[in-house]
């Protein structure tokens, strides 16, 4: 049985927007954008907006919870090339733990929220997200930050949440 191929998994807290839906999809050789997010699937307005972005890029788009994606991925025969888009590295960890074959994770925007510390000016992580990124690295998954194709790729090392937080407070003091 042939399974779909995951070309790239991207973490972006905004999910599918112009940068992801048009810039990344035109760069990647994919058939379908797959949004895997337990909350987004219940947001009909958000899904409608993401569908319009995918339509602009002339790509198919699907929306799944983590469990539904795992079930469909392993039970369906497909030759599709997929671009997975998730809002958090914690979702990627859950997929990997369920044996979804992910080898490359591109991290894009992870906006600042209370309790998050900066890795760089567009990527902020909380303790749980840092732990998930470290888990992925420990699984020999290539994890890197890149805003858009063609810009600098910043390889992400093991993250020490406390040290990142200290770096933030030192730059403020």
The residues carrying an active-site annotation are 17
- Six-digit token pair at 94? 């859950």
Rg (CA), the chain: 16
CA distance 132 to 29: 27
CA distance 138 to 135: 5
Please give the C-alpha separations between residue 19 and each of 109, 134, 161, in angstroms, as whole numbers: 10, 26, 28
Q: Dmax over Cα atoms in the chain, in whole Å?
A: 58
């Amino acid at each position: 049985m042939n399974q779909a191929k995951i070309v790239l998994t991207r973490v972006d807290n905004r999910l599918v927007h112009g940068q992801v839906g048009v810039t990344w999809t035109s760069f990647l050789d994919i058939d379908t954008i797959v949004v895997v997010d337990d909350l987004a699937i219940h947001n009909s307005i958000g899904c409608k907006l993401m569908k319009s972005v995918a339509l602009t890029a002339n790509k198919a788009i699907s929306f799944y919870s983590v469990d539904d994606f795992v079930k469909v991925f392993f039970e369906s025969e497909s030759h599709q090339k997929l671009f997975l888009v998730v809002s958090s590295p914690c979702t990627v960890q859950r997929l990997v733990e369920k044996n979804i074959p992910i080898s490359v994770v591109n991290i894009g925007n992870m906006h600042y929220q209370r309790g998050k510390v900066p890795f760089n000016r567009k990527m902020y992580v909380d303790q749980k997200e840092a732990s998930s990124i470290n888990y992925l690295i420990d699984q020999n998954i290539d994890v890197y930050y890149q805003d858009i194709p063609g810009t600098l790729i910043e390889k992400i090392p093991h993250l020490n949440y406390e040290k990142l937080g200290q770096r933030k407070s030192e730059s403020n003091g």
